[in-house]
């Protein structure tokens, strides 16, 4: 059952207001109330209701125009007592459908991976008694006790805490654990800053706490991700192109079938023969091997990409990878090293000072609490053994003070060393040490000291302040120590840009790919990182600004903006979808739970081998290294694959359309069928088979230097120009056979069959490239297969099965004339290609 509607602003509530709103109290729920709520709200799980059966998923794969035409072609082959072609076509359709089924099944598996992360127990307080309960039985109003290592089982409001730090990296993408404290927060507080709320799936790294559950199952933040993953994956650019191409073929096919059938009926030819002939024309127009060609190309591409440390999970994503013109990426670990390092330590005047770092290191090494990444960075930059420095006390870090103080013996003196957030730390200092080592009142220099801090912040560096104070041996260790301290200076930290990332981004730009950075960090850090790696930051869009922007306005802003800062997890998907609406092919690279919905929505979702399972399952491509440089070779390979797929489409549609247009025309003035239905099927099969090797064909550089998408109008124009050119020479062959050689029905059908297959096979070498054909070397397999096909066609009239297919022998003179026609055709095709691309450009 559905749980109650969750108010959107629980972070603004006090503990008392939360207890009142949820209907609970400090003793927790009673067992009877918990059972009643479980019946009302349902289990704390992600049951998706009715699950789509596997057979339904499989049958869905047949609901597209190309597959329908191919199945019709298969039925026609069986009807003509020609089961061989029918079996071939059915095998192709079946394999293609299995691929689609596997893709949808993979999406379902990502949900199961998501669910497996939340099967756990929780320390729950009911009737003032604490016990371990299955997390699925938790309900709104339950109190849970949190300890180190616990995974948060549901969304909860923090009632009490003791130095509680949570790792929310999977949600926010940030490496720093966050402290959680009770107390209400302002309405405008962003999701990542809501320190009083705990989210399902994050985990405790230090401290302890008591929390009140307010949302379970699909109503949690985790559940929102689940819902988006449960949605059908949006149609990608490649899938959209295939669908539009199929619709184009369907329209042309139906039109030609009706025209041809009408002409033959008007000429009073046998209706059954005319109908079968029209259906054969329809089959002839259809590139039966398109699914097989695509699969072979994709499999070859996946094999090549795996050698470049790019693992392809969903084959169709390779085409999108090549078409991608926008890549959205997080910051940490992708553009930067993902490791916090000390940038510098300075005195209050901004001059480098190692003593500041030394005292920071003493504090970091002597403290007993959780050592965060900044402490580790300090220890690495200035190694000090804690065993050599006696410690006599500590004031632990808390959220309100935002600092930690240790008491140590330094040069025989009892010294308090305080380390913390710069602004709160300056508030407890009344003196500072200048560049000459003099201790002076801080009041006169406070403004310039704050300027030093603000300069670091604006340049994207995180900073902490360091202060010291000598205390007496008998002074108690209490918060009074943190007053009248001497400010030593700042330690600034950076997450350095990856080595060579600027060149990688420029190389992506050279390939026509625009990189956009999406981060949860503040705009100053985002701007500094963007500048350091070469990303334009003339326009920065923050998460708070994004909340007030409508979908149409976001489409425009997202296209204009390259840096998105302070972005909440649920806003990433909005950015991706807005870019797709702006007609971009969008890639997204991410590795956290919070990235799963964006990965799911992108045309190509990219994750890394070290990512959480949900992210890897939602992704289409997995990198073995979290390095954008790895993408470069993968993108190029994707474009090679896409180029070879489009080559086949150009070849098949233009040749088939030309042949079928010629057949349609010839049927209007011949007293017999220009080609028998089975001869049409054989023509189509023989012209397609050599093109099965297109996956290994060489690709010109112009296919690789920029992204390309399906352009149905371009394909249509290409099909018409080269189809009509093919028909022109078909009609020349008709004239030769009828008036030059006086061919009978069998000779006419044989002669035209040979000319059709030979010209369609050889013209492949011309239209596979923009260049003059002999300046672009074809792949060895393509060239070899083409030669074998031409040789086989010439031999067909002399083979034992020739009569079965209705073929007869031709006079040798025909082959001499045919050579002339083919040479003229190739020359004309080269000239037409030159004019066509000149006009298109």
Cite the DSSP H helix spans in 61-134.
65-79, 83-116
Q: Which of 235, 108, 165, 219 is nearest to 581 (CA)?
A: 235
Cβ-count burial of 803 within 10 angstroms (0-12 exposed, 13-18 middle, 19+ buried)? exposed
Q: Report residue 246 CA to chain centroid gap.
A: 25
Question: Which tokens belong to 284?
Answer: 């002839």
Residue 737: CB atoms within 10 A of its CB come to: 22
Closest CA to 802 of 738, 749, 725: 749
SS3 content of the chain, % helix, strand, coil (to 5): 55, 15, 30
Q: Give the C-alpha separation, 151 to 694, whole Å.
A: 51
Which region, left, alpha or beta, applies to residue 187 given φ > 0 means left and ψ of -120 to 50 means alpha? alpha
CB burial of residue 161 (10 Å; 0-12, 13-18, 19+) = buried
Task: Determine phi and psi for 253, rounding to 5 degrees.
Answer: -60, -50
Helix count and strand count (H, E) for the chain: 28, 23
Gap between the Cα atoms of 636 and 622, Å rounded = 16
Angle at 76 between CA 72 and CA 79, to 5 degrees: 140
**Is 495 tagged catalytic?**
no
CA nearest neighbour of 359 among 423, 433, 288, 306: 433
Nearest Cα to Cα of residue 327 among 533, 576, 582, 587: 587
The catalytic residue among 150, 330, 620, 730 is 330
Distance of CA 421 to the CA centre of its chain: 37
| 431 strand-pairing partners | 441, 486
- Distances from the Cα of 747 to the Cαs of 121, 550, 664, 737, 738, in angstroms? 82, 68, 19, 8, 10
Residue appearing with tokens 């180190």: 148
Catalytic residues: 330
């Amino acid at each position: 059952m559905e749980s109650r509607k969750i108010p959107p602003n629980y972070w603004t509530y006090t503990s008392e207001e939360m207890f009142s709103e949820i209907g609970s109290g400090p003793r927790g729920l009673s067992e009877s109330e918990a059972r009643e709520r479980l019946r009302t709200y349902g289990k704390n799980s992600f049951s998706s209701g009715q699950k789509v059966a596997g057979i339904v998923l499989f049958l869905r794969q047949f609901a597209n125009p190309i597959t329908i035409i191919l199945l019709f072609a298969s039925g026609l082959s069986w009807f003509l007592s020609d089961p061989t072609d029918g079996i071939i076509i059915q095998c192709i359709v079946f394999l293609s459908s299995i691929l689609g089924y596997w893709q949808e099944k993979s999406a379902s598996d990502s949900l199961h991976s998501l669910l497996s992360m939340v099967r756990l127990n929780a320390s729950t307080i009911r009737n003032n008694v604490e016990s371990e309960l299955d997390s699925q039985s938790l309900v709104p109003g339950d109190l849970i006790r949190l300890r180190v290592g616990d995974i948060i089982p549901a969304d909860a409001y923090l009632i009490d805490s003791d130095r509680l730090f949570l790792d929310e990296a999977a949600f926010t993408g940030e490496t720093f654990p966050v402290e959680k404290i009770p107390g209400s927060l302002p309405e405008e507080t962003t999701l990542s800053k809501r320190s009083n709320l705990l989210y399902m799936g994050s985990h405790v790294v230090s401290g302890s706490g008591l929390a009140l559950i307010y949302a379970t199952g699909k109503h949690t933040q985790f559940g929102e991700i689940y819902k988006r993953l449960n949605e059908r994956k949006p149609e990608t650019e490649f899938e959209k192109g295939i669908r539009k191409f199929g619709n184009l073929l369907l329209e042309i096919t139906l039109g030609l079938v009706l025209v041809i059938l009408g002409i033959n009926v008007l000429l009073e030819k046998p209706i059954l023969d005319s109908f079968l002939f029209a259906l054969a024309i329809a089959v002839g127009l259809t590139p039966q091997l398109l699914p097989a060609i695509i699969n072979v190309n994709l499999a070859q591409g996946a094999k090549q990409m795996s050698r470049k440390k790019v693992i392809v999970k969903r084959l169709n994503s390779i085409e999108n990878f090549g078409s991608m013109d926008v890549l959205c990426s997080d910051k940490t670990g992708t553009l930067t090293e993902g490791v916090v390092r000390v940038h510098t330590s300075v005195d209050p005047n901004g001059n480098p000072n190692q003593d500041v770092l030394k005292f920071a290191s003493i504090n970091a090494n002597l403290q007993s609490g959780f050592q965060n990444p900044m402490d580790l960075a300090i220890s690495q930059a200035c190694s000090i053994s804690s065993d050599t420095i006696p410690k006599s006390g500590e004031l632990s870090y808390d959220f309100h003070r935002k600092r930690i103080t240790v008491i140590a013996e330094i040069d025989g003196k009892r010294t308090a060393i305080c380390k913390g957030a710069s602004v709160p730390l300056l508030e407890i200092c009344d003196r500072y040490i200048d560049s000459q080592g003099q201790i002076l009142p801080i009041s006169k220099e406070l403004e310039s000291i704050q300027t030093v801090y603000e300069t670091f912040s604006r340049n994207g560096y995180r900073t902490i302040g360091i202060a010291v104070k000598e205390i007496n041996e008998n002074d108690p260790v209490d918060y009074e120590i943190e007053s009248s301290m001497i400010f030593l200076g700042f330690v600034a930290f950076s997450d350095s840009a990856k080595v060579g990332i600027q060149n990688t981004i420029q190389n992506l730009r050279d390939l026509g790919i625009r990189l956009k950075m999406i981060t949860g960090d503040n705009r100053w850090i985002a701007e500094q990182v963007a500048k350091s790696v070469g990303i334009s930051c003339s326009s920065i869009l923050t998460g708070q600004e994004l909340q007030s922007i409508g979908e149409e306005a976001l489409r425009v802003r997202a296209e204009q903006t390259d840096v998105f800062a302070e972005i909440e997890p649920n806003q990433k998907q909005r950015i991706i979808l807005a870019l797709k609406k702006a007609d971009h092919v969008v890639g997204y690279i991410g590795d956290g739970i919070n990235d799963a919905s964006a990965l799911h929505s992108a045309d190509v979702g990219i994750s890394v081998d070290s990512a959480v399972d949900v992210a890897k399952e939602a992704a289409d491509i997995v990198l073995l290294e979290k390095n954008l440089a790895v993408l470069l070779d993968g993108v190029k390979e994707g474009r090679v694959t896409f180029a070879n797929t489009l080559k086949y489409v150009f070849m098949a549609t233009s040749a088939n359309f030309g042949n079928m247009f010629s057949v349609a025309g010839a049927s209007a003035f011949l007293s017999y069928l220009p080609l028998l239905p089975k001869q049409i099927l054989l023509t189509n099969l023989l012209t397609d088979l050599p093109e099965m090797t297109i996956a290994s064909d060489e690709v010109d550089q112009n296919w690789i230097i920029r992204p390309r998408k399906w352009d149905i109008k371009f394909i249509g124009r290409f099909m018409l120009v080269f189809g009509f050119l093919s028909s022109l020479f078909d009609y020349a062959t008709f004239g030769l056979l009828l008036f030059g050689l006086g061919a009978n029905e069998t000779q006419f059908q044989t002669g035209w069959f040979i000319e059709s297959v030979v010209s369609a096979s050889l013209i492949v070498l011309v239209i596979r490239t923009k260049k003059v054909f002999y300046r672009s070397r074809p792949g060895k397999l393509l060239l070899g297969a083409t030669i074998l096909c031409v040789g086989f066609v010439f031999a067909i009239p002399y083979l034992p099965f020739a009569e079965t297919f209705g073929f007869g022998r031709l006079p040798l003179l025909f082959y001499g004339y045919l050579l002339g026609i083919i040479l003229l055709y190739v020359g004309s095709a080269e000239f037409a290609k030159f004019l066509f691309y000149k006009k298109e450009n």
